[in-house]
Structure 1
Amino acid sequence: MQGVAAGLVALGLTRGDHLMVVLQNRLEMATLHWACQFLGVVMTPLNWRANAEEVDYCALDAGARAVVVEPCSEAAVAAVAASSIASRLPRIAVGAAAGTLCFDELCTAAPRAAIVRADSADLSLMLYTSGTTGKPKGVPCRHRAERAAALGHVAQNLYRRGERTLGVMPLYHTMGVRSLLAMALVDGVFVCMPRFDSAQAFRHIQDERITSLYLVPTLYHDMLAWRDCHGADVSSVKKLGFAGAPMPEALLRRLVEAFSPELFVNHYGSSEVFTFAYSQDASRKLGSAGRAGINARIRVIPHDARVPGEPAAALEEGQIICDLAGEEAFEAYCNRPDADAKAIRAGWYFTGDTGYIDHDGDLFVTGRVDDMIISGGENISPMDIESVLSLHPAVDEVAVAGLPDERWGQRVVAFVKARAEATAEQLDAHCRASSLLAFKRPRDYVFVREIPRSPVGKILRRKLVTGEYDAVEPGRATPV
């Protein structure tokens, strides 16, 4: 790592500069992260699937001084406009990629002494949000915030010295970074996995004796589907954690049955503030995100509130906000005063999520403000309906969205990926037999081959609304 740090210095990078890294999870990615932390260089990772336009935009936005690529990302980096900043950056190549210099050459600049130039107030990392509703937003975080978030993650997941985790959540995403830092704090093991594959994941679990998993629900879903067919030894795994998206009740129950975890953490947070809330027993109160994180203070305020004020009453749904005075919080977006004005008000971060707090003080997240369906004047959360439908034995995955309707404004439509034969009539009967209120029942069911998701498993409802999905014949199981 010291050699890599010295190589970055020889390349001309100094404290405060941004290093743009477009890599999968691999040893070089983790090594670069730590080298940047020592130097005070700002680690700025991008999704390795990013296209040329995204690479170009982020390089300019961050003012990157160099870029690191590998074969899976070099085409996008090479395709940027010749006139752009990204095209003129020194290119560090990993593996067989072409570049200004290769990663191994970077390591040859042996340091004369340990290179430690950063302090707690320096920027450590800048992650880019997924940008599903516009240009990606850079989220700069200082060293002190990263350290607080990592310590909080260790405490909230009860990690012990020597913990071993599967490093599959990407290191361009806050979940991946937190796993890497947490394992370093407890002298643990982070088993890099460049691309997710269920068979390989189970091989790592068995061979490396993985003790904890921290994944998005989609990956747990895929792993269970593979294990149902092939079987796998998961006896070493004692702790499960999830974040990034809500977990359907049916999936949660299947995980408890498959792993019998000693600890099952529901973690709720974001790139901007790593932890809003967490629960250490996700199966105790289904759907609850628990209470405020160790470094956090949260509040639910009325839907129409524009500034922080009196909290909503118990069980009253509203906007979830988080105090930016917490140690894990960011301060502002990079070059985005428009985004700051929308999300940061009077020292609080408006998460864009909706939810409520019950009489015990536990938080329940009900959806996104932008995803809320307004049908006939009623506010309807897609998550309420998805939770009910996920319990039908024929439903593999489900997403609910509001489609334009002349009479109702929006009508509730359920998009279903089936694991067995099912009809709209059967699913409607299931909803009628549940506690779901009549006005929330889907008016239409669409059977699809896949539910569109982001690279980290979030449902892309906008694609459902615009018809960007592959429909299959109703009444049949979705083809594998």
Structure 2
Amino acid sequence: MDLGSMFEFAVGRHPFGVALVEGGHSYTFLALNQEVNRVASSLRKLGIGRRDRVMVLLKNRRQTVCLFWAIQKLGAIFTPVNYHMSIQDIQHCVYDVEPKVIVFEAVAEAAVRKLRLEETPIFISLEPDDGDISYDELVHSGEDTFDAVPVDDDEIAIMLYTSGTSGVPKGVPRSHKNEYASTLAHIIQNHYDPFDSTLGIMPLYHTMGVHSLLAMTFLNAKFVVAQDVRDESVPEILCREKITCLYMIPTMYRDLLANHRIENYDLSHLQKIAYAGAPMPEALVSDCFRALHPQRFVNHYGSTEIHTLTTCAYLHRKPGSAGKPGINQWIRLMSLDPDATVNDGVKRGEVGQVIAHLGSAEAFKGYWNRPEVTRQVIQDDWYLTGDLGVFDDEGDLFVVGRVDEMVISGLERVSPAKVEEVLSGHPDVLEVAVVGEQDEHLGQIVVAYVVPRCEQLSPLELDRYCKQSGRLSTFERPRKHVFVEHLPRSATGKVMRRALLSTREK
């Protein structure tokens, strides 16, 4: 089942139901569909068709949602990119995906203007006179009706970019079948119902944001766009729009509960909450139960490559548990022995690498233009997640770390090797090792252990150097710089990152 058809089914069922709310203004499914058709017909006039990539550098807003559905109706590929990324990484994504169109807004204008392009795409801006054509011009020159292009289930609907061990963003193609199956699983696992509502606070360049939108659309539910949301306004939106479902990362729940005004708002409609993206501290789990009184509270453990790995809906009994495999999934733990294969497991209670079977309808088939990386993570129809996990006596999974020691800060993944490469370029840095230090707010923060060449080197100077390099995004820059005399190494000369953290903890 293709996504464009799913949207049209929703429009046909309840054309006058509220589909989207932005800034207090409501749009029915019928009104949204009219704008979607106008954008789709205009894009087709510009030559955009089946399998073409449309890169989107936008915040969560009505235009982003309309572009998403217009692109699905065209049979093209929605390719959202994190506009917070460094210019170098955005440049890589452009070279990698070769978009026919780049849609951007003011927040991404500086990056777009610095792109080096071999073939120039069509630039569409939200601002008038800032691109080849504006979004409003697309709407005004389009038509109210549009016949969606027929597509196969296995054709790519969405391309999401995720960071990897190399530090270079990897394109993850997601087929219509992948997204259809993932969304149905998401609805079932979270106990969503028709006419529910959610706060669209997770970015639409991330799998969590995409599935929030899809789930609400499939159910003729309300998607409340949240862009530039101030912490103090979130309770107001939840109350005003009678939000029933939340799907956020742990730090967002922490910020919500820390709001001193939350008790002034009626949040009794909020019944179902879920989190993903990072572990949630047990204390925060307890605080969510106490303050929000959810009827259902789910830890959703997944990835961009496979939307659902496991879920846990009994956090009151097992806070911190990732639970059991999703309804489409089969997972195992693989031995950490260097010569291990997917057939080599571990005993219950022992740590192993989480691997997931690719027979799942939610699973991708490999990275875009990256066969060498695909071979590293796919072995005999199993996807090697890189996560470390352990099963307890009841068969519930607990995720305990990363095989490659990738730092997961907030919603973003940071490659230690990439940060080390930048810092190593400073003339006063002899050696450097980057690790993730536990942080209650972000899950982990980036910490650089530096062996300096001179005593005058300071953390301020290193942070300035990282900023000026232009190679690191804001979330990739170290939050701390720790100066050490030497880096601990193994007998083979490899830096022992865990030893750095254990020494600091002492």
Asked whether the two chains share a fold, i.e. TM above 0.5, the reply is yes
Residue 96 of structure 2 aligns with which residue? 61
Residue 333 of structure 1 aligns with which residue? 367
Equivalent residues in 2 for 1:80-119 (5 A)? 80-81=115-116, 83-85=117-119, 88-95=120-127, 98-107=130-139, 108-110=141-143, 113-119=146-152
Per-residue displacement from partner, 1:257-285 (whole Å, max 9, x unpaired)? 10011000000000000000001122221
Per-residue displacement from partner, 1:334-364 (whole Å, max 9, x unpaired)? 1112211221111111001001111211111
Residue 387 of structure 2 aligns with which residue? 353
2:358·2:381 contact (CA, 8 Å) conserved in 1?
A: yes
Amino acid at match of 2:224: V
Deviation at 1:369, TM superposition (A): 1.2
Equivalent residues in 2 for 1:11-90 (5 A)? 11-81=46-116, 83-85=117-119, 88-90=120-122
Work out whether 1:158 is the aligned partner of 2:173.
no
- Percentage of identical aligned residues: 39
Q: Distance in 1 between matches of 2:145 and 2:78?
A: 23
Amino acid at match of 1:102: S
Secondary structure of 2:142's counterpart equals coil
Match of 2:175 among 142, 148, 159: 142
- TM-score (ref. length: structure 1): 0.77
Deviation at 1:35, TM superposition (A): 1.1
Deviation at 1:77, TM superposition (A): 0.5
Q: Distance in 2 between matches of 1:121 and 1:405?
A: 48
Equivalent residues in 2 for 1:149-228 (5 A)? 149-227=182-260
1:162·1:188 contact (CA, 8 Å) conserved in 2?
A: yes
Deviation at 1:120, TM superposition (A): 1.0
Deviation at 1:189, TM superposition (A): 0.6
Q: Distance in 1 between matches of 2:445 and 2:76?
A: 42
Which structure has the higher relative contact order (CA within 8 Å, separation 6+)? 2
Deviation at 1:230, TM superposition (A): 7.0
Residue 398 of structure 2 aligns with which residue? 364
Amino acid at match of 1:312: V
Per-residue displacement from partner, 1:421-455 (whole Å, max 9, x unpaired)? xxxxxxxxxxxxxxxxxxxxxxxxxxxxxxxxxxx
Deviation at 1:404, TM superposition (A): 6.6
- Residues 400 and 16 (structure 1), Cα distance of their counterparts in 2 relative to 1, 3 Å cut: closer
1:71·1:97 contact (CA, 8 Å) conserved in 2?
A: no
Unaligned ranges ≥5, structure 2: 1-35, 408-434, 452-473, 484-506
Moved more, 143-152 or 223-232: 223-232
Deviation at 1:111, TM superposition (A): 6.2
2:447·2:481 contact (CA, 8 Å) conserved in 1?
A: no
Amino acid at match of 2:62: L
Moved more, 285-294 or 165-174: 285-294
Deviation at 1:112, TM superposition (A): 5.8
Amino acid at match of 2:255: D
Secondary structure of 2:404's counterpart equals helix
Runs of 4+ aligned structure 1 residues displaced above 4 Å come to 228-231, 396-406, 459-462, 464-468
Unaligned ranges ≥5, structure 1: 374-381, 391-395, 407-458, 469-480
Amino acid at match of 1:54: D
Q: Distance in 1 between matches of 2:249 and 2:79?
A: 22
1:301·1:312 contact (CA, 8 Å) conserved in 2?
A: yes
Per-residue displacement from partner, 1:162-183 (whole Å, max 9, x unpaired)? 0100000000000000000000
- Residues 467 and 110 (structure 1), Cα distance of their counterparts in 2 relative to 1, 3 Å cut: farther
Q: Distance in 1 between matches of 2:246 and 2:333?
A: 30
- Residues 170 and 343 (structure 1), Cα distance of their counterparts in 2 relative to 1, 3 Å cut: same
Q: Distance in 1 between matches of 2:442 and 2:114?
A: 36
Amino acid at match of 1:100: D
2:447·2:479 contact (CA, 8 Å) conserved in 1?
A: no
